[in-house]
């Protein structure tokens, strides 16, 4: 039978000590250095309760001492008696010293003040465990007011007042995953700093279950909606150009507000974005871009022409020979000496869309730009570069590119065109009826027919759209391993069917169905024959 008696102390010095309390319990105490917060000696302690028969459990106390020594040696033990509140105070000061974005820091402090400090603020860092963190997040999911199931009235006004219909009984509503994710980011970031500052041995705030990522659901305006927005914006010159630039560049609203005339190189047609306007309440200031990197965006000739005209227009309006290089492109003052407020830009955009009956925001213009560029076949890295995303385009694909019905329809048509004919058909009575399969021996199928069938499928499915050039005769001949004459015969068959148009010395172009609907079918002749005639 195991015994639990006080071990004999040898001559060798033993690290830590075991003290017997008046109750018979044993307190294990290990010196862990100087507390970096209080500058006093810090000890790891743990109390071992008495056994059921009232004796002190020295064996268990020795095991606890060994455990605490291992934690200390492996640098996994906390090194301070500081609370979560003290850590948050130091962490937010650290973010301020790093000049973290004021708006982000204000949001973090609000979440800490309303949710973290009331529930965890007085908890020592040594008492942060995974179970307690799971309970903390579970409480926030249940009720953002931390009611704990209590019933009370949510008053519209504070202090003494006469309740109205707006003072309603409290109904629990938990925080969403987005807010929980921010709270976890605050605690995890603070814990990471605590490890670096040697307050903690390990980041204890990462012990909780991970918060599920919020799925992206971009809803960019459609092409028709974008056209109506731009048309409405051009009722006023300054506003119309700002909205136009937002669509063609995908720039953020703060970046548009910060634009100055020296950011445009009319010679190369490049716009440089190197700063942004931030706003907190009524206060605004100029700062780096969100990624702290400047980026260059190529502009089309139409946009450059508009900017050249607007440059002269602004100079004439201000009574100047030309606008100063550092003048803001968009400003409430004629000389461009001030910038627009980002919140005012958003509010004006919202009001304009409200008049059009649209529920969208100015930020969704970036969604529109990303989606349209990806649909047009622009590579992801180029799209990410124009939008100012890092990670090689991961953010662009995950957040900003929406599912496009037109592209998906093209994909479906392409797959359908590649499949064999259906073995059934819909009869006049609306029922499926089998049809006799058409069997064509591979050796009897002419190569030009196979080429024409593939091109016809691409045109019908929408992969090749009206006005788009067909592959050259040389490309078709190389791809299908046939002669030039065979490839020309395939294009001639499509021309006879009214699917393509051919001009002397030019490549074949997909025809517009509306333009060829009433035209008589051309005779099937080879292109080389038509040229001789």
Write out the DSSP string of 485-518.
HHHHHHHHHHHHTTSEE--TTS--EEPPHHHHSS
pLDDT in tens, 125-183: 888 888 889 999 999 998 888 887 777 777 767 777 777 777 888 788 888 888 898 99
* 59 and 91, same domain (yes or no): no
pLDDT score for 439: 47
| Cα 307 from Cα 324, distance rounded (Å) | 15
pLDDT greater at residue 165 or residue 19 = 19
For 270-295, give one letter per residue: b (16+ CB within 10 A) or e.
ebebebbbbbeeeebeebebeeeeeb
The DSSP bridge pattern shows strands 270-273 and 500-501 to be: unpaired
pLDDT in tens, 309-353: 999 999 999 999 889 999 999 999 999 999 999 999 999 999 999
Domain containing 359 — which CATH number? 1.10.443.10
Domain containing 470 — which CATH number? 1.10.10.10
* 234 and 365, same domain (yes or no): yes
For 314-339, give one letter per residue: b (16+ CB within 10 A) or e.
bbeebeeeebeeebbbbbeeebbeeb
* 192 and 234, same domain (yes or no): no
Question: Of the spans 32-41, 126-135, 257-266, 506-515, which averages the highest pLDDT?
Answer: 257-266
Lowest mean pLDDT among 30-34, 80-84, 417-421, 505-509: 417-421
Question: Of the spans 35-39, 89-93, 383-387, which averages the highest pLDDT?
Answer: 89-93
Q: Is residue 305 part of a domain?
A: yes
- Exposed/middle/buried for 389, CB within 10 Å: 0-12, 13-18, 19+? buried
* 88 and 134, same domain (yes or no): yes
If pLDDT is split at 50, 70 and 90, which confidence band does 208 have?
confident
* 97 and 184, same domain (yes or no): yes
**CA nearest to 14, candidates 61, 55, 46:** 61
Beta strand ranges found along 101-152 (DSSP E): none
| Cα 236 from Cα 341, distance rounded (Å) | 18
Q: Is residue 4 part of a domain?
A: no
- Flag whether pLDDT at 54 surpasses 70: yes
| Cα 494 from Cα 476, distance rounded (Å) | 14
3-state SS, residue 174: coil
The answer to whether 353 and 231 are in contact (CB under 8 A) is no
The CA dihedral of 267, 271, 272, 277, to the nearest 10 degrees, is: 140
* 374 and 468, same domain (yes or no): no
* 228 and 200, same domain (yes or no): no
- Exposed/middle/buried for 365, CB within 10 Å: 0-12, 13-18, 19+? buried
pLDDT greater at residue 118 or residue 429 = 118
**CA nearest to 117, candidates 183, 209, 189:** 183
pLDDT score for 438: 45
Q: Is residue 300 part of a domain?
A: yes
Share of the chain above pLDDT 70, in %: 79
- Flag whether pLDDT at 194 surpasses 80: yes
* 173 and 134, same domain (yes or no): yes
Count CA atoms within 13 Å of residue 516 on its CB side: 17
- Flag whether pLDDT at 429 surpasses 70: no
pLDDT score for 532: 36
- Flag whether pLDDT at 413 surpasses 60: no
Q: Is residue 437 part of a domain?
A: no
- The size of the chain, in residues, is 533
- Flag whether pLDDT at 396 surpasses 90: no
pLDDT in tens, 266-288: 988 889 999 999 888 888 989 88
If pLDDT is split at 50, 70 and 90, which confidence band does 2 have?
very low
> Domain containing 233: what range?
224-400
Q: Is residue 26 part of a domain?
A: yes
The CA dihedral of 499, 503, 506, 510, to the nearest 10 degrees, is: -20
Per-residue DSSP letter, 390: -
pLDDT in tens, 289-314: 887 788 888 888 888 888 999 999 99
**CA nearest to 29, candidates 83, 75, 59, 72:** 72
* 518 and 468, same domain (yes or no): yes
How many folded domains does the chain comprise? Answer: 4
pLDDT greater at residue 431 or residue 475 = 475
| Cα 172 from Cα 166, distance rounded (Å) | 16
Q: What is the mean pLDDT of residues 217-224?
A: 82
* 69 and 88, same domain (yes or no): no
For the beta carbon of residue 462, count every other beta carbon within 10 angstroms. Answer: 17
* 195 and 104, same domain (yes or no): yes
- How far is the CA of 325 from the CAs of 264, 307, 385, in angstroms? 10, 14, 26
- Flag whether pLDDT at 487 surpasses 70: yes
Domain containing 90 — which CATH number? 1.10.150.130
Q: 236: phi > 0 → left, psi -120 to 50 → alpha, else beta; which?
A: beta
- Flag whether pLDDT at 57 surpasses 60: yes
3-state SS, residue 455: helix
Q: Is residue 411 part of a domain?
A: no
Q: Is residue 464 part of a domain?
A: yes
If pLDDT is split at 50, 70 and 90, which confidence band does 187 have?
very high
Q: Is residue 276 part of a domain?
A: yes
Domain boundary among 7, 39, 73: 73
- Flag whether pLDDT at 401 surpasses 60: no
**CA nearest to 373, candidates 387, 358, 363:** 387
* 184 and 257, same domain (yes or no): no
- Average pLDDT in the chain: 79
């Amino acid at each position: 039978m195991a015994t639990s008696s006080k071990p004999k102390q040898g001559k060798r010095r033993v690290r830590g000590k075991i003290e017997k309390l008046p109750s018979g319990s044993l307190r294990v105490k290990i010196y862990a250095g100087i507390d970096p917060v209080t500058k006093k000696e810090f000890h790891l302690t743990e109390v071992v309760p008495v056994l059921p028969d009232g004796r002190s459990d020295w064996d268990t106390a020795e095991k606890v001492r060994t455990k605490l020594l291992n934690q200390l040696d492996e640098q996994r033990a906390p090194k301070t008696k500081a609370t979560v509140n003290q850590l948050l105070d130091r962490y937010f000061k650290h973010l301020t010293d790093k000049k973290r974005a004021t708006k982000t820091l204000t949001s973090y402090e609000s979440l800490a003040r309303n949710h973290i400090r009331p529930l965890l603020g007085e908890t020592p860092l040594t008492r942060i465990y995974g179970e307690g963190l799971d309970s903390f997040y579970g409480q926030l999911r249940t009720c953002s007011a931390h009611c704990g199931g209590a019933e009370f009235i949510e008053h519209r006004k504070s202090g003494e007042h006469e309740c109205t219909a707006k003072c309603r009984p409290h109904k629990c509503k938990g925080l969403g995953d987005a807010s929980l994710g921010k709270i976890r980011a605050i605690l995890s970031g603070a814990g990471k700093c605590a490890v670096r500052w040697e307050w903690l041995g390990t980041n204890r705030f990462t012990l909780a279950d991970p918060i599920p990522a919020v799925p992206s659901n971009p809803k960019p305006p459609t092409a028709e909606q974008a056209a109506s927005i731009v048309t409405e914006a051009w009722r006023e010159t300054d506003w119309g150009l700002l909205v136009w630039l937002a669509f063609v560049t995908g720039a953020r609203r703060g970046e548009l507000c910060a634009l100055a005339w020296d950011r445009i190189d009319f010679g190369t047609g490049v716009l440089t974005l190197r700063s942004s306007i931030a706003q907190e309440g009524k206060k605004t200031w100029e700062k780096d871009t969100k990624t702290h990197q400047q980026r260059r965006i190529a502009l089309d000739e139409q946009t450059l022409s508009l900017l050249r005209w607007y440059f002269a227009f602004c100079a004439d309006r201000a009574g100047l020979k030309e606008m100063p290089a550092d003048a803001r492109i968009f400003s409430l003052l004629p000389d461009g000496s001030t910038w627009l407020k980002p919140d005012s830009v958003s509010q004006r955009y919202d009001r304009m869309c409200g008049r059009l009956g649209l529920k969208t925001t100015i930020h969704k213009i970036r969604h529109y730009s990303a989606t349209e560029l990806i649909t047009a076949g622009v590579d992801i890295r180029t799209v990410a570069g124009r939008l100012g995303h890092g990670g090689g385009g991961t953010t662009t694909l995950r957040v900003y590119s929406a599912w496009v019905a037109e592209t998906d329809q093209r994909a479906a048509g392409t797959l359908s065109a590649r499949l064999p004919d259906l073995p059934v058909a819909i009869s006049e009575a609306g029922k499926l009826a089998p049809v006799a399969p058409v069997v064509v021996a591979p050796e009897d199928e002419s190569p030009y027919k196979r080429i024409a069938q593939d091109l016809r499928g691409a045109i019908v499915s929408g992969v090749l759209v009206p006005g788009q050039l067909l592959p050259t005769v040389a490309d078709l001949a190389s791809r299908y391993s046939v002669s030039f004459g065979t490839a020309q015969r395939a294009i001639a068959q499509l021309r006879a069917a009214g699917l393509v148009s051919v001009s002397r010395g030019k490549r074949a172009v997909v025809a517009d169905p509306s333009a060829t609907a009433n035209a008589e079918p051309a005779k099937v002749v080879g292109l080389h024959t038509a040229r001789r005639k």
